[in-house]
A and B are shown apart, each in its own frame.
Chain A
Amino acid sequence: MNDDITVADLSLSMGGQKIIKSLSTSIKAKSITAIIGPNGSGKTTLLSALVGLRKINGQVMLGQDNIYEMPSKIRAQKIGYLPQKNEVNWNISVSNLIGLGAMPHRFNNQTSGNIIDKAMDVTNIAHLADRKVMDLSGGELSRALFARVLAGDPEWIMLDEPMAHLDLSHQLGMIDLLKSIKANGKSIVIIVHDLHQAARLADNIIVMKDGLIDSEGPTKKVLNLEMLKRVFGIKAQIINDKHGVKIDEIMRL
């Protein structure tokens, strides 16, 4: 069965300004797709449109189903979303926070307990279970919020810059974790600013520029000198070896 996400003629305005202009693409299931592009190119808006949160023109299909016509509970079971901003309004405990993630499902206590434990294990925060969220560091909170998404056990995981608050070691840990989640059959869409991370992580890349897709395809193909110059205005050396693509000696043009 085809579980890909297909976007057809998507356009979206906010405050009278067109943020996304007639965009069509398809995103492969069971792979990692990175969305990259300069600030203000429409990455976050595109991602939230994929989650079903915006008023759109056009169509976003998950397999055969229109995301905007699905019952919201079903959509929530299929798609997990982590926004860029770390927002937690009340000082709840980490385990309660992660427990919120299981909300779209009607798990019994045993099952939800197991899922919460597993989500804390893989994100390496089991030791923080009883801590209150306002006592966490930025990176710890990021990981707890990511664990919240995992606790919903969604098929699709949509992440908006999940590594922004993480130190280098946790960034690498996150990359490995995302890869292993993919290996378990999940589909991931992730907004990344750091092109190194995109290169390490993604199977496919969508490059956004001015509300349109500049280019898209397999990481090796998309990350090229012309694209870097055209979209980001930078000059760099691209190293393509058996470990994948690396970008080096970046200079501003």
Chain B
Amino acid sequence: MNKLNLALFIGLLFASCISLLAGKIWISPLDISSNAEVSIIYQLRLPRTVLGIIIGTALGMAGAAMQGFLRNPLADPGLFGISSSAALGAILSLFLGLNGVWILPIFALLGAALGMGLLTLLAGRSGSLIIFTLAGLILSSLTGSLTALLISLAPNPFASSEIITWLMGAITDRSWGDVYFTAPLVAGGMICLLLSAKMLDALTLGQDVARSMGVNMTIVQYLLILGIGLSVGASVAVTGIIGFVGLVVPHLMRPLTDERPSNLLIPSAIAGAILIVLADSIIRIMPMVSELRLGIAMSLLGAPFFLGLLYHMRRKLA
């Protein structure tokens, strides 16, 4: 493990400790005695923290892979349209008023799978980045408009408010069940992304050179669709849409690495986890009547980040 990954890992340990201790009820690490405190940590905060780590890792690595594949430092896994497909699936279950513990995430996964299939069909075998991006745009605008349609047709105000709240992702009140559901899927997705790492490196030199070096663009495309589909799809299924992480984390990590796409995957994964876990802890201790949704908090962070980026770029160009 190199120095950067080690430092990030230690950072993640700290963030996780904060996440376990912070909240409406602060728990002192020196004095975890009462049964109530033990069960707050074990039943509520630990699954929430672990889920935050899983989601953050998934989104961070998906973003890094996506930027490497499209060779664009501002690409976001949302461009694939897979997260919006998953969201559409989830919303369909709310719209139909289907109840049951696993109905919503399973619908979301089916949505993600359908999105992956459609994306593969649309993008075809050419491996062309422009066609791929266009296919992703078609998918995300289609699913986005269908989502809006479902909201507007919602049978009753409760359903529509439930849908809207769900869309603004959160990891509040999640249980170990959610962790067991997401972890294997995200792990599978991340393995696919890691398998593409060397090919993403070759893509640094452009598509033709990468192909001349033995990279099969169709295989890279499949690995990316499967990898992002599984990791982002599973994340959306249990948390709703949490934007910004996949775009910003790789962007922040890149200057700390040697800029080879393969060396950006792991740091982005760990840093994504830190960001989610910390942001979720801060949300919990903010003095508000009802908790701020994580998805909203992340988008709120987005604007100043891009402002900073814009300022930096303008100074560089001046």
Contacts and interface: CB of A to CB of B under 8 A. Distances in A.
Do A and B come together as binding partners? yes
Interface residues of A, number: 32
B33 interface: no
Interface stretch (A10-18, A48-56, A170-178): A48-56
A212 interface: no
B206 A80 contact: no
Contact of B214 (A82, A104, A145, A148): A104
Contacts of A79: 212
A72 B214 contact: yes
Contacts of B209: 81-83, 87
Contact of B205 (A48, A53, A72, A148): A148
Contact of B259 (A48, A80, A85, A90): A90
A19 to B, nearest CB: 16
Contact of B212 (A81, A92, A96, A132): A81
Interface residues of B, number: 21
Contacts of A87: 205-206, 209
Nearest to A48: B208
A92 B201 CA distance: 10
A43 to B, nearest CB: 15
B213 A103 contact: yes
Q: Is the interface of A mostly helix, strand, loop or mixed?
A: mixed
A99 to B, nearest CB: 9
Interface string A88-107: 11111100110011011000
Contacts of A73: 214
Interface in B183-200: 198
B261 interface: yes
Contacts of B213: 76, 100-101, 103-104, 152
A79 B211 CA distance: 11
Of B202, B216, B259, the most chain A CB neighbours within 10 A belong to B259
Contact of A91 (B71, B203, B214, B259): B259
B130 to A, nearest CB: 14
Given A90-B259, A103-B198, A81 B208 contact: yes
B96 to A, nearest CB: 45
Nearest to A72: B214
A128 to B, nearest CB: 15
B259 to A, nearest CB: 4
A232 B206 CA distance: 32
B201 A72 contact: no
Given A81-B209, A89-B203, A72 B215 contact: yes
B214 A100 contact: no
Nearest to B264: A90
Given A91-B259, A100-B204, A80 B212 contact: yes
B259 A92 contact: yes
Given A91-B259, A92-B258, A72 B204 contact: no
Nearest to B70: A89
A82 B206 CA distance: 11
B260 A53 contact: no
B109 to A, nearest CB: 33
A104 B205 CA distance: 14
A26 to B, nearest CB: 21
Given A92-B259, A96-B258, A100-B201, A53 B212 contact: yes
A89 B214 contact: no
A35 B48 CA distance: 64
Nearest to A93: B258
Contacts of B259: 90-92, 132
A209 interface: no
A64 to B, nearest CB: 20
A75 B260 contact: no
Nearest to A76: B214
A72 B215 CA distance: 7
Given A53-B208, A72-B211, 13 more contacts: A48-B208, A52-B212, A76-B214, A80-B212, A87-B206, A89-B204, A90-B71, A90-B204, A92-B258, A92-B259, A103-B202, A104-B213, A132-B259
Q: Rank and list the top 4 A-B pairs by shortest CB-CB distance, nearest first.
A: A76-B214, A81-B212, A87-B206, A89-B71
21 contacts: A53-B208, A53-B212, A72-B211, A72-B214, A72-B215, A77-B214, A80-B212, A81-B208, A82-B209, A90-B261, A92-B258, A92-B259, A92-B260, A96-B258, A96-B260, A97-B204, A100-B204, A100-B213, A103-B214, A104-B213, A145-B205
Interface of B: 71, 198, 201-206, 208-209, 211-216, 254, 258-261
Interface of A: 48, 51-53, 72-73, 75-77, 79-83, 85, 87-93, 96-97, 100-101, 103-104, 132, 145, 148, 152
